[in-house]
Amino acid sequence: MTICNACRYCEGFCAVFPAMELRRIFSEQDLKYMANLCHNCRDCYYACQYAPPHEFMLNVPRVLGQLRQETYPEVSWPKAMNGLFQNNGRLVSLVTALSITMVLLLTLLFRGHDVLFAAHTGPGAFYRVIPYAAMVLPFSVLAVLVLVCLWKGFANLWQTIGGKPEELTNRSAHLQAIWDVLRLKYLDGGGHGCNYPDDRFSMVRRYFHHAVFYGFMLCLASTTAAFFYDHLLDRLAPYPFWSWPVVLGTLGGISLLVGTGGMFWLSRQMDREPATRETLGMDTAFTVLLFLTSLTGLLLLCLRNTPLMGTLLAVHAGCVLGFFITMPYSKFIHGIYRYAALVKNAIEQA
């Protein structure tokens, strides 16, 4: 960072370098703040005169990626879980596989194979495969737990990067940070995009990430709409194609498929030199899990009138379960923590 601060050629790319210029010496807090502020666009790596094989061997995206990876176990809650960030890719895959198997086995055990492998149609068809209570109760409990863990993680990170609790009430900083998130401002590298998969500027990574983010949001909206249908309108799933839950879910699912597929493709194509090797497993597992969740969801929609419906529902529910269980300990948290860094940045630069 002292090299960067004496050079400053990269100050136009993102928020990390202007944040660095506010400082002369860098505390642990500062470094972790900048690590979480970095969006890994790699523009600074390819622009860097001091990148390897130069003898200074400066590799900003990799170093910040490693630092970022170090902050995750530090701030995650509860503390007992902080071992989960080692071999995270394997862990997330394993949890997902177990979730799918468990849902399948439980369904088979309690409902029998004639239910699992039969076609079900009409209102309440899903609940004939997995009963209402079995579907709603675990997910509700899990959702509360996940929210608590995420909030605790956010608060810990806020402290780790040197934020004060009272600063969190700064509304304009939140608005600025939300606006930065919605645009993925810092994947635009000062207006020209990231350097993926090589040294040429391209918006492709930003657009794929947009597809993931907004796809996820649409799916969240779909689930919320389904909740209203079920509990307020007394309409039982599955819903017709032209209904809010299905339209939102379909759009979201397709968007997620494209986005995660694109991110995965980029990660296969990309130059490995600026990559943080320690996080590749975590990144890949999360991307693949999102991809599988949306794929099984869309397949379920297409094949819901066939005997495959039961199995697909169970597999999809297993994927979603896996996603929720691992949420506070998977790549998902990068969004939460980066948001915290963006809020701090908005306060600092105001």
Partner 1 sequence: MNRDGQSAIVLSKRFDVIVVGGGNAALCAAMTAREAGASVLLLESAPFAFRGGNSRHTRNLRYLHKSANSHLTGPYLEDEFWDDLMHVTKGKSDKYLARLTIRESNNLGAWMIGHGCKFQPSMRGTLHLSRTNAFFLGGGKALMNSYYATAERLGVAILYEAEVIDITIRDGRFASASFELQGIRQTVEARAVIIASGGFQANISWLKECWGDAADNFIIRGTPYDKGRMLRVLLDRGAKPVGDPRQCHAVAIDARAPKFDGGIVTRLDCVSFGIVVNNRAERFYDEGEDFWPRRYAIWGRLVARQPDQIAYSIIDAKSVDLFMPSVFPPIKADSITDMAHKLELDPTALEATVRTFNSAAGHGNFDAGKLDDCATKGLTPPKTHWARPLDTPPFYGYPLRPGITFTYLGLTVNERAQVIMQDDNPSPNIFAAGEIMAGNILGQGYIAGFGMTIGTVFGRIAGKEAVRHVIETYKRS
Closest CA to 289 of 301, 300, 297: 297
* For partner 1, the closer CB: 157 or 266: 266
x-or-dash string of contact with partner 1, 318-337, rule CB under 8 A:
--------------------
* For partner 1, the closer CB: 3 or 175: 3
Q: How far apart are CA 41 and CA 15, in angstroms?
A: 12
Q: Which residue from 22, 122, 169, 191 is in contact with partner 1, where contact means CB under 8 A?
A: 191
Q: How far apart are CA 310 and CA 84, in angstroms?
A: 32
Binding piece for partner 1, criterion CB under 8 A, among 5-13, 95-103, 108-116, 318-326: 5-13
Q: How far apart are CA 157 and CA 140, in angstroms?
A: 26
Q: Does residue number 13 form part of the binding site for partner 1 (CB under 8 A)? A: yes
Q: Which residue from 22, 24, 80, 272 is in contact with partner 1, where contact means CB under 8 A?
A: 24
- Output DSSP code: residue 236: P
x-or-dash string of contact with partner 1, 194-233, rule CB under 8 A:
----xxxx--------------------------------
For residue 121, give both structure tokens: 């149609």
Q: How far apart are CA 58 and CA 8, in angstroms?
A: 13
CB 77 within 8 A of CB 149: yes
Binding piece for partner 1, criterion CB under 8 A, among 119-127, 183-191, 219-227, 281-289: 183-191
Q: How far apart are CA 112 and CA 317, in angstroms?
A: 17
Q: Specify the amino acid at residue 62.
A: R
In sequence order, the β-bridge partners of residue 194 are 202
Q: Does residue number 162 form part of the binding site for partner 1 (CB under 8 A)? A: no
Binding piece for partner 1, criterion CB under 8 A, among 8-16, 122-130, 159-167, 284-292: 8-16
Compute φ and ψ for 202, nearest 5 degrees: -155, 145
* For partner 1, the closer CB: 189 or 249: 189
Closest CA to 301 of 257, 261, 255, 253: 253
CB 58 within 8 A of CB 48: yes
Compute φ and ψ for 349, nearest 5 degrees: -90, -5
Q: Which residue from 2, 29, 172, 269 is in contact with partner 1, where contact means CB under 8 A?
A: 2
Q: Which residue from 19, 31, 44, 218 is in contact with partner 1, where contact means CB under 8 A?
A: 44
Is there a cis peptide before residue 238, judged by omega within 30 degrees of 0?
A: yes
Binding piece for partner 1, criterion CB under 8 A, among 153-161, 185-193, 237-245, 326-334: 185-193
Minimum CB distance to partner 1, residue 51 (Å): 8
CB 199 within 8 A of CB 46: yes
Q: Which residue from 128, 192, 210, 235 is in contact with partner 1, where contact means CB under 8 A?
A: 192
Minimum CB distance to partner 1, residue 344 (Å): 20
Q: Does residue number 6 form part of the binding site for partner 1 (CB under 8 A)? A: yes
Minimum CB distance to partner 1, residue 15 (Å): 13
Binding residues (CB under 8 A) for partner 1: these are 2-3, 5-7, 9-13, 21, 24, 43-44, 46-56, 189-192, 198-201
